[in-house]
Amino acid sequence: MYRIEVDPHTHSVISLHAYSTVEECARHAAERGLRGMAVTDHCSLIMAQREHSVEAISNQRVLPDEMYGVRVWKGVEIDIVDFEGRLAFEDRPDEFHPEKTGAELLLSSRDFVIASIHTPFDRDRGTVEQNTAMYLAVLRNPYVDVLGHTGRSRHAYELSPVLLEAKRLGKAIELNNSSLENSAAVSAKPCRAIAEACRDLGVPVTVSSDCHSAFGIGRFSAVERLLWELGFPEELIVNRTRESFEAFLEGRRRRLAALAGA
């Protein structure tokens, strides 16, 4: 089986439907032998802190960069809200810094950004053409690093153009363990198709728990079984080691530095 050292998708009590503090998550990560984790609480118009999502997550700056020997990256999981690929708070001035939108303020200061679809947008399935264009637009947002759990988003899309665009831009596609464990009826077939296409096209992936309590951190077994069955190349898993995940994040830093200098 695969040895994965970093959990890049975790939720704390800042996501109001999660049940553990960041410290509890870090302690459990250390006990499971992980060397890193990204805190990716929800920035959403309907989940987590709602209108105060931006401020709550921005305050991750008070957290140490390491706990119990585990590197802690400050991230976010932000909602995709329409077929144009816009993100939550992208059209709203920030309450405290109105010269910027909430999304711009938050995303520019994170270590790591996942963009995902959640309720109620997942009820509006769209067409394959709409969804493909949407995911391409999201990938072209310079602040986004990973497309989150597209296998359970209920938005079918054309795999090759989206996955190849992620590869071209140095971004990744998430293979989400929670999707396979908790939503298998919806997710099993699309997740397998996505994993197969990433393998065949050489597209980087993240393997994540998407845990909502500390007890689930580092739980990758369902994805690992799938990858083993597919003979998936370990080198395409960007969070396989702390060092490989740090190298992936260096691409983000270069991208945002170029954006700032433009």
* pTM of the predicted protein model: 0.97
Residue 1 included in any domain: no
Q: Which amino acid is at 230?
A: L
Mean pLDDT of 227-250: 98
Whether 36 and 208 have beta carbons less than 8 Å apart is answered as no
Residue 77 included in any domain: yes
Nearest-10 crossing angle of helices 184-201, 221-230 = 50
Domain count, the chain: 1
Of 150, 132, 253, give the one whose Cα is nearest residue 208.
Answer: 150
Whether 39 and 25 have beta carbons less than 8 Å apart is answered as yes
pLDDT tens digits, residue range 50-106? 678 899 999 999 999 999 999 999 999 999 999 999 999 999 988 888 999 999 999
Mean pLDDT of 30-53: 90
Tokens of 215: 């007890």
Which residue range is the domain that position 155 belongs to? 6-261
Residue 60 included in any domain: yes
Of 182, 117, 120, 184, give the one whose Cα is nearest residue 156.
Answer: 117
- Mean pLDDT, the chain, whole residue set: 95
pLDDT tens digits, residue range 193-220? 999 999 999 999 999 999 999 999 999 9
CATH number at residue 110: 3.20.20.140
Residue 262 scores a pLDDT above 70: no
DSSP 13: T
Residue 135 included in any domain: yes
